[in-house]
A and B are shown apart, each in its own frame.
Chain A
Amino acid sequence: MLRAADQVGTGLAGIDVAGLSKAYQGRHGPSPALQDVTFAVRAGEFAALIGPSGCGKTTLLHILAGLIEPTAGSVSLPRRHPGRLGTALVFQGASTLPWMTALDNVAYGLRLMGVPARERRERARQHLGQVGLLAFSDAYPHQLSEGMRQRVNIARALATDPAILLMDEPFADLDEQNRLLLQDELLRIWQEDRKTVLFVTHSLDEAIRLSDRVLVMSASPGRITAEVPVPLGRPRDFQVIRQDPAYGALSARLWGELREEVLRASRS
């Protein structure tokens, strides 16, 4: 199968999307999910993507990950390096493979890349350690908590050392405390090598806490309607930025952008 990352390699380490459209084949002809989506994420940038449910966020990530073909438009991603994955996707919802141990789940991408068993065990252990789950290497997903499973999914993506990390609402199913914990961990890991990240979320707070820039998507069919930079320093301390007046202003601005779209989505 051709992956989007193989088709267009610019050698730059960011994401460049231009005029991207996608229509699914519905019962009554094609139904548009994405309409003329254009945006870019710079190399090393942490971008968040928010938008009402069903606006095409997952569709967009799946196109970037090479799972589905766009109907029109172009995607440009970094050239693939040997031993690394072009894009790694952390899927929405439950996505640990139930029949593999935590370690094998993390090593899964490496196994498909043909990394020798010894090395991939080593790399997988290192990434499992990075998310604090080394003691659970041999546990199966059903023996882990939801938060632990999500850590495994993230470790699996990071183990492939992708040029681009795509995350589809990875913390949506977690309770508030676990979400804060994992956000913290994600930022700490990201701080180490500053991968290019596109992070889909429903939560305005999460988008502000994590990202350098928030992309706002319209109701279906999705377009990018606003790009809002997050003027908060790094490393970020949630305790501190919560007090920052910029935080409140940003939250209000984003909600302003989103409100109409959410209303539109719920009406349709």
Chain B
Amino acid sequence: MKARIADRWLAVISPLGLLLLWEGLSRAGLLDARFITPPSAIGRTLVALTRTGELPYHVGVSVERIIAGFLLGSIPAVALGLAMGLSRSVRALLMPIVAAIYPIPKIAIYPLIIFYLGIGEASKVSIVALSIFFLVLLNTMAGVLGVDRTYFNIARAYGAQSIDVFTTIAWPGALPSIFTGLKLGMGFALIVIVGAELLGSDAGIGFLIWRSYQIFAIDVMFAGLLVTAVLGWLATITLDWLERRAMPWRTEHK
């Protein structure tokens, strides 16, 4: 417990130290504040952007897209991953397709998606969903395949129907891998949504950064980056929290 609290402090110290160093170098004139906005100025910009409502609007748009895309991608991925893990024939049927599509950088499909779905929300949500779908799918399948065979035998020996095997063995057994997939997927979701908003969008954090580039508002670009970093961090602790809630039997492992 003590060690965990210490870890938390250490986790705060390193980013804080970096910001302090940055600010110090800037004040000492070693960093040109016109090109590299010091943290204090980024802070002022953040406050101003929040006052005008611009920042909350763009963040809100991006977060909605991420959450919608995340759910749209991960729920079917988990369902299909469990099916592929449990059934050899489903695996044989789908694995070739999955293996072929998985390595394509999903952002490369984005222009095609815009072509079909337009530049609105549907294309953003779809690209996020697509980019995490395969990650979650493959991790879920690997999770089921990694479950000790004895556990399946226990279920069968005690008379489990297929649905029981699914709910009492495959699902809880694969949960750790499912969460690995979800966390990786969340990272990709952030990368992809900001990328997609840079490429073609009229709202969102990526759009904010891109527009700021066009008007040479460097402080806003830094503010956008900082917000993205914080979003990523929030997503991670949310998923960590969910993971602990979903798997109480593992809480004391770490």
Partners in one complex: yes
A: residues with CB less than 8 A from B are 1, 3, 62, 65-67, 85, 87-89, 91, 93-95, 97-100, 108-109, 111-113, 140-143, 160
Whether the Cβ atoms of B156 and A140 lie closer than 8 Å is: no
Q: Which residues on the B side are within 8 Å of A112 (C-beta)? A: 155, 158-161, 164, 168
Q: State in angstroms the CA–CA spacing of A99 and B168 once bound together.
A: 9
Closest Cβ of chain B to A167, distance in Å, is 12
A93 in contact with B248 (CB, 8 Å):
no
Taking a contact as CB atoms under 8 Å apart, the answer to whether B153 and A140 are in contact is no
- Whether B159 and A140, one on each chain, are in contact in the complex, defined by CB atoms closer than 8 angstroms, is no
Cα A89 to Cα B155 with chains together (Å): 11
Say yes or no: A99 contacts B150, CB within 8 Å: no
Contact with A along B232-254 (1 / 0, CB 8 A): 00000000000000011110110
- Shortest CB-to-CB span from B218 to chain A, Å, is 51
B249–A95 touching, CB < 8 Å: no
A160 and B158 contacting across the interface, CB-CB below 8 Å: yes
Alpha-carbon gap, A113 to B164, bound state (A): 11
- Tell me if B159 and A113 are in contact (CB < 8 A): yes
A and B contact pairs by CB, cutoff 8 A, 13 listed: A62-B153, A66-B156, A67-B156, A89-B157, A91-B157, A94-B148, A95-B151, A99-B172, A99-B247, A109-B159, A112-B155, A112-B158, A112-B160
Nearest A-chain residue to B173, judged by Cβ:
A99
Residues of A near B112 (CB, < 8 A) are none
Set B157, B164, B252, B253: member contacting A66, Cβ < 8 A: B157
Known contacts A3-B159, A109-B158, A112-B159; A95 and B150 CB within 8 A of each other? yes
**B249 and A98 contacting across the interface, CB-CB below 8 Å:** yes
* Beyond A99-B247, A109-B159, A142-B252, 6 extra complex contacts between A and B, CB < 8 Å: A66-B156, A67-B157, A112-B160, A113-B158, A140-B248, A142-B253
Q: Is the interface of A mostly helix, strand, loop or mixed?
A: loop
Main secondary structure of the interface of B (DSSP, over half): helix
Contacts of B156 in A (CB 8 A): 1, 66-67
Interface residues on chain B, number (Cβ under 8 Å): 24
What is the CB-to-nearest-CB distance from A25 to chain B, in angstroms, rounded to a whole number? Answer: 15
Docked pose: A3 CA to B156 CA in angstroms = 9
Bound-state CA distance A97–B169 (Å) is: 8
Q: Check B247–A88 contact: CB distance below 8 A.
A: no
| Complex: A65 Cα to B150 Cα, angstroms | 13
Chain B residues within an 8 Å CB radius of A111:
168
Query: What CA separation (Å) do A85 and B154 show in the bound complex?
Result: 13
B151, B157, B168, B173: which contacts A65 (Cβ < 8 A)?
B157
Contact A97:B154 (CB < 8 A) given known A108-B168, A112-B164, A142-B253:
yes
Q: B164: which A residues are within 8 A, CB to CB?
A: 112
Distance between Cα atoms of A89 and B153 in the complex (Å): 10
Residue among B155, B249, B252, B253 making CB contact with A99, cutoff 8 Å: B249
Known: A99-B173, A113-B159. A91 touches B154 (CB 8 A): yes
Chain A hits for B154, CB < 8 A: 91, 95, 97, 108
In the complex, the answer to whether B150 meets A94 with C-beta atoms within 8 Å is yes
Question: Would you give the shortest CB distance from B253 to chain A, in whole angstroms?
Answer: 7
Contact status of A91 and B153, CB under 8 A, knowing A108-B168, A140-B249, A143-B252: yes
A129 to B37, CA, bound (A): 67
